[in-house]
Amino acid sequence: MEYVPCPISNSMNFTPWLNVFDRFDHLVTSHWELVQSCESGLVMLNPRPDHTEIAEHYPDGIYEPYLLTKKNVSFTQKVMLSARFLLLHYRCHLIFKETAKPNNQHSLLEIGCSTGELLHFCHCHKGIPIKNIDGIEPHAPSAEYARKNFGLRVTEIIQDDGAKKFDRIVLWHTLEHIHALHKTLHTLKELLAPEGIMVVALPNHDCWSAKRYQKNWIAYDAPRHLYHFLPETLAKLLEQHDLTIIKQLSYFPDALYNNLYSEQLACKKSDEKFHVARIASAIIRGGMDAISGIMDPNHADTLVYFIKKSQG
């Protein structure tokens, strides 16, 4: 375990913010402390597992991004995988939104690419040449799955040889997991083409479902989520690396996911049944939150940020 300063202000001055627990802890015995930096306002996990300890908190077989590496999946997991595949087109559309460059000239890097479905989809349906696609995935079985099943070039660490630049660098629910934020952002800036765009999807704890479920909000996901950014705190961090947010959009499907699984987590915590009425209620609330997030992205469950190198 380690105590770390705020990555924005470098201060150890925090106030307690919320106690949460690990959703994979079936006995609900492990509690984690979220704190807020008094200087920057960033909410973060502190103390936290260090980089040598964190892998044990990503259990194979039940952690969603790794499900494709599992031979036998449950019905619920099959439904989740199907929904994930159906949303690939929308995610791909967002990533390449408003680009004038021909697809067959694009280069793409995804950090935390898991089993490579998004990269594979971009190759097959957007026409991005596979030689122009790279992925980074520290989970060795997932990286091997992407290489074996999709023929992707996936490594476990970021490598910058100075020769390759990328038009799009994607971190889809990844940045909040990274211990070495500054080192990572410095490297990604170097890898970004002059007119390239970083596409970063992050949970937004200023959304309605977070206010509703509080410590049972699924996207706090301690201890895997180390940081919880809002637009203003992310902008402060990026400014230190001469990076600028040029646009932000809501990603409405996560409102459904967050409400449904937060309701399930609340039932588990209170030892109540997750019955049909509660499922239906969560889905209805998720739909309403999705619409609300589209109308007012500041309260969306997930925000997608489009980031470029600062001018001048």
In a domain, 91, yes or no: yes
In a domain, 53, yes or no: no
CB-based contact 93:121 (threshold 8 Å)? no
Mapped onto helix, strand or coil, the DSSP state of residue 290 is helix
In a domain, 237, yes or no: no
Please report which helix (H) or strand (E) contains residue 289, including its range.
helix 276-295
Contacts of 214 (CB under 8 A, 6+ apart): 18
Q: Say how many CA atoms lie within 13 Å of 124 toward its Cβ.
A: 11
Q: Which domain holds residue 168?
A: 61-172
Which of 67-76, 123-132, 233-242, 243-252 has the weakest average pLDDT? Answer: 67-76
Average confidence (pLDDT) over 155-177: 89
Backbone φ and ψ for 307, nearest 5 degrees, come out as -125, 135
In a domain, 131, yes or no: yes
pLDDT tens across 26-60, in order?
A: 666 778 999 999 999 999 999 999 999 999 988 87
In a domain, 242, yes or no: no
Block residue for tokens 């031979």: 71
Q: How confident is the model at residue 286 (pLDDT cuts 50, 70, 90)?
A: very high
For residues 56 and 311, which has the higher predicted lDDT (pLDDT)?
56
- Report in angstroms the alpha-carbon separations of 214 from 123, 206, 207, 253, 269: 39, 11, 11, 20, 13
Average confidence (pLDDT) over 226-240: 98
* Residues 203, 205, 207, 208, CA torsion sign: positive
Q: How confident is the model at residue 159 (pLDDT cuts 50, 70, 90)?
A: confident
In a domain, 115, yes or no: yes
Q: How confident is the model at residue 254 (pLDDT cuts 50, 70, 90)?
A: very high
What rounded mean pLDDT belongs to the chain? 90
Beta strands in 217-274 (DSSP E): 227-228, 243-250
Please report which helix (H) or strand (E) contains residue 37, including its range.
strand 31-37
Q: Using omega within 30 degrees of 0 as the cis cutoff, is the peptide bond preceding 59 cis?
A: no
Tokens of 228: 């919880």
In a domain, 18, yes or no: no
Closest residue by Cα to residue 120 from 161, 243, 128, 200: 128
What total of structural domains would you count in the chain?
1
Question: What's the confidence (pLDDT) of residue 79?
Answer: 62
Question: What's the confidence (pLDDT) of residue 116?
Answer: 94
Beta strands in 90-226 (DSSP E): 108-111, 133-136, 153-155, 166-172, 192-203
Please report which helix (H) or strand (E) contains residue 307, including its range.
strand 302-309
* Strand bridging mode 43-45 / 227-228: antiparallel
In a domain, 252, yes or no: no
Question: What's the confidence (pLDDT) of residue 71?
Answer: 62
Block residue for tokens 């980089």: 51
Question: What's the confidence (pLDDT) of residue 204?
Answer: 98
pTM of the model: 0.92
Question: What's the confidence (pLDDT) of residue 294?
Answer: 92
What CATH number does residue 85 fall under? 3.40.50.150
Mapped onto helix, strand or coil, the DSSP state of residue 181 is helix
Closest residue by Cα to residue 55 from 168, 177, 238: 177
Please report which helix (H) or strand (E) contains residue 242, including its range.
none
Question: What's the confidence (pLDDT) of residue 77?
Answer: 59
Q: What percent of the chain has pLDDT over 90?
A: 71
pLDDT tens across 198-223, in order?
A: 999 999 999 999 999 999 999 999 99
Question: What's the confidence (pLDDT) of residue 97?
Answer: 84
Backbone φ and ψ for 115, nearest 5 degrees, come out as -90, 5
For residues 251 and 80, which has the higher predicted lDDT (pLDDT)?
251
